[in-house]
Amino acid sequence: ERPVSVAAVDLGATSGRVILGTWSGERLALCEAHRFSNTYRELGPHAYWDIGTLWHEVRSGLLKAAARLPSGTKLASLGVDTWGCDHVLLDDTGRLVFPLHAYRDNRVQPALRALNRDRDSSARLYEATGIPNIFYNTSLQLAETLTRYPAISQLATRCLFLPDYFNFLLSGRAENELTIASTSQLLDVSENANWSPAALAQFGIPQHWFRPPVVPGAILGPVRAIPELRGTQVIAVPGHDTACAYDAMPTDGEGDLFLSSGTWSLVGFESPRPLLGPAAQKARISNERAGNGHFRPLTNIDGLFLLEQLMAEFADRPRNDKDWAALVNATAAQSETPSESRLRLNDGSFASPPSMRTAIDAQLSKRKLSLPRSLVGYARLIWDSLGQGHADSMRLFESLTGERFKRILMVGGGSKNRLLCQATADAARIPVLSFSLEGTAVGNLARQLIALGAVKDLSHFRQTLAAQLKTTTYTPHR
Ligand code: LFR
């Protein structure tokens, strides 16, 4: 069989990449064609993504990926995934009619507090959408836009999530993809996978801004925007990076807990059914959609964002794997023993503080715990706290489902960090299998290969991947 080459555009809140994947002889070869750093920008009191720069990077990355192919071959397809919730508002000509705010913008805080006080509405929303009230939800963002600028409902005719918007720029097709739509708190949690009229009404959001979601794997049509990529198909992969990361988990059956560790720590599992009810709502379990349309009950824990912010305060923000590895080595050299204290994660004040160090110190002081004195001290504290947070989520799922997890499968940037993997294994008391894998990009590639018919299905892909990957197993020490 002939090799099939496809490209994954994988945009994260702190870095983006374009990965070329070639499937040949039942193996996936990966090549990083392009990587760039990403950040939101503050203009006055608000935070925005730089959409022009992102599009420029996507375009150059795709050209670089195509240029790596042997002459005469071309990219069969491409797919785009991004972080969740963020979106654009367009008019009929496809023009942006509102600036692209970043989900860490503080604009939704008053409405979030009001919604949290309204227990009945919150409970109804959770039962309808399976998504708890969280500051980044699209629902709250759109409600703020509409309340402050009512005229927007005259200007905008469509709302596209970021991956949908890139698909539109590339192919001309404006569709809403299912997994990214499920991050909005506006999608119905039932099987039919359509928008929830109750949730849209609660937030005053026009229904016609959305189309019934397309399922991952839908072929949208050929690239139109980049002449060099003529003939390459745009495929709606799971638009949500976390759904891609979960698709890439080399699981072989029951009993695996999934952890995608990056800016956020996303701890969850796959299930044909959502986890609903008051206990799930209280525990802030998000029932997002998986690439196959099933559910991914998960908790979203403040992740390495804390340390990324802190590093910027101590020194330059780390730019690459080497900087992170150096911090891990320095921390391990200073002490192999874990720190005594644990941060309470998901403290609202960690969402986008002017100084992360001050925010962390404030929590520790309030709880009469000692403050770390160096970056290494903070790194240790954060990794151990994350390990504990991962284990707490696991126990929560176990108590709600009555099932036990046997292993934790870990992908994402944090899976390369041996101290974080070990802290997780120690706290959870089960083995952690780390794959040092950019799961988000790999899940994106997988869905394209399946849509093109090169790979039979996801379980076949996962089996093949498991056999290829270098796996490090961390067994609990304590
Ligand atoms: C991770 C992620 C999380 C989502 C957060 C904000 O990149 O997609 O799943 O909750 O970003 O959108």
Burial of 269 (0-12, 13-18, 19+ CB in 10 A): buried
Q: Is the CB of 300 under 6 A from ligand 1?
A: yes
The residue with tokens 């990056």 is 262
Per residue, the 3-state secondary structure of 131-151, as one string, reads: CCCCCCCHHHHHHHHHHHCCC
Distance 85 CA to ligand 1 centre (A): 7
> Reduced to 3 states, what is the DSSP secondary structure of residue 299?
strand
Distance 334 CA to ligand 1 centre (A): 33
- In this structure, are residues 470 and 270 in contact, taking their beta carbons and an 8 Å threshold? no
Nearest residue by C-alpha to atom 5 in ligand 1: 84
**CB-hemisphere CA count at 13 Å for 81?**
32
Q: Is the CB of 440 under 6 A from ligand 1?
A: no
**CB-hemisphere CA count at 13 Å for 213?**
29
Measured CA to CA, the distance from residue 234 to residue 219 in angstroms comes to 6
Catalytic residue among 81, 86, 241, 302: 241
For 414-463, the DSSP string reads GGG-HHHHHHHHHHHTS-EEE----HHHHHHHHHHHHHTTSS--HHHHHH
The H or E element spanning position 289 is: strand 286-289
- In this structure, are residues 150 and 134 in contact, taking their beta carbons and an 8 Å threshold? no
Distance of CA 371 to the CA centre of its chain: 31
Measured CA to CA, the distance from residue 382 to residue 97 in angstroms comes to 40
Sign of the Cα torsion 239, 241, 242, 243 reads: positive
Given the CA of residue 83, which atom of ligand 1 is nearest to it? 8
Q: Is the CB of 134 under 6 A from ligand 1?
A: no
Nearest to 460 by CA among 448, 470, 446: 446
Measured CA to CA, the distance from residue 144 to residue 149 in angstroms comes to 8
Q: Tell me the best of 183, 284, 393, 411 to mutate to test the pocket of ligand 1, counting ligand atoms within 8 Å of each CB and taking the most.
A: 183
Nearest residue by C-alpha to atom 11 in ligand 1: 83
**Following CA atoms 185, 189, 194, 200 in sequence, which dihedral angle do they give, to the nearest 10 degrees?**
-40
Tokens of 465: 């991947």
Q: Tell me the best of 87, 133, 260, 300 to mutate to test the pocket of ligand 1, counting ligand atoms within 8 Å of each CB and taking the most.
A: 300
Q: How many CB atoms lie within 10 A of CB 170?
A: 25
Distance of CA 30 to the CA centre of its chain: 20
- In this structure, are residues 247 and 238 in contact, taking their beta carbons and an 8 Å threshold? yes
Q: Is the CB of 266 under 6 A from ligand 1?
A: yes
Distance 461 CA to ligand 1 centre (A): 24
> Which pLDDT value is given to residue 352?
87
Tokens of 399: 């108590």
Q: Is the CB of 242 under 6 A from ligand 1?
A: yes
Distance 335 CA to ligand 1 centre (A): 32
The H or E element spanning position 221 is: strand 218-222
Distance 140 CA to ligand 1 centre (A): 15
> Which pLDDT value is given to residue 316?
59
Distance 84 CA to ligand 1 centre (A): 5
> Which pLDDT value is given to residue 59?
98
Distance of CA 48 to the CA centre of its chain: 18
Tokens of 4: 């099939």
Q: What is the pLDDT of residues 258-301, one digit of tens each?
A: 999 999 999 999 999 999 999 999 999 999 999 888 999 999 99
Distance 137 CA to ligand 1 centre (A): 10
Given the CA of residue 260, which atom of ligand 1 is nearest to it? 1
Tokens of 447: 């869905």
Q: Is the CB of 388 under 6 A from ligand 1?
A: no
- In this structure, are residues 123 and 281 in contact, taking their beta carbons and an 8 Å threshold? yes
Measured CA to CA, the distance from residue 99 to residue 170 in angstroms comes to 20
Sign of the Cα torsion 85, 89, 95, 101 reads: negative
Active-site annotation holds for 91: no
Q: Is the CB of 83 under 6 A from ligand 1?
A: yes
DSSP 351: S
Given the CA of residue 84, which atom of ligand 1 is nearest to it? 12
Q: What is the pLDDT of residues 354-366, one digit of tens each?
A: 999 999 999 999 9
Nearest residue by C-alpha to atom 6 in ligand 1: 84
Q: Is the CB of 214 under 6 A from ligand 1?
A: no
Nearest residue by C-alpha to atom 1 in ligand 1: 83
- In this structure, are residues 146 and 101 in contact, taking their beta carbons and an 8 Å threshold? no
Give ∠ CA 284-289-291 in degrees, rounded to 5: 145
Given the CA of residue 240, which atom of ligand 1 is nearest to it? 8
Q: Is the CB of 421 under 6 A from ligand 1?
A: no
Exposed e or buried b per residue across 321-345, where buried means at least 16 C-beta atoms within 10 angstroms of its C-beta: eeebeebbeebeeeeeebbebbbeb
List per-residue pLDDT tens for the chain, 478 residues long: 789 999 999 999 999 999 999 999 999 999 999 999 999 999 999 999 999 999 999 999 999 999 999 998 999 999 999 999 999 999 999 999 999 999 999 999 999 999 999 999 999 999 999 999 999 999 999 999 999 999 999 999 999 999 999 999 999 999 999 999 999 999 999 878 899 999 999 999 999 999 999 999 999 999 999 999 999 999 999 999 999 999 999 998 789 999 999 999 999 999 999 999 999 999 999 999 998 889 999 999 999 999 989 988 887 555 677 888 889 999 998 876 667 789 999 888 998 899 999 999 999 999 999 999 889 999 999 999 999 999 999 999 999 999 999 999 999 999 999 999 999 999 999 999 999 788 999 999 999 999 999 999 999 999 999 999 999 999 999 6
**CB-hemisphere CA count at 13 Å for 391?**
21
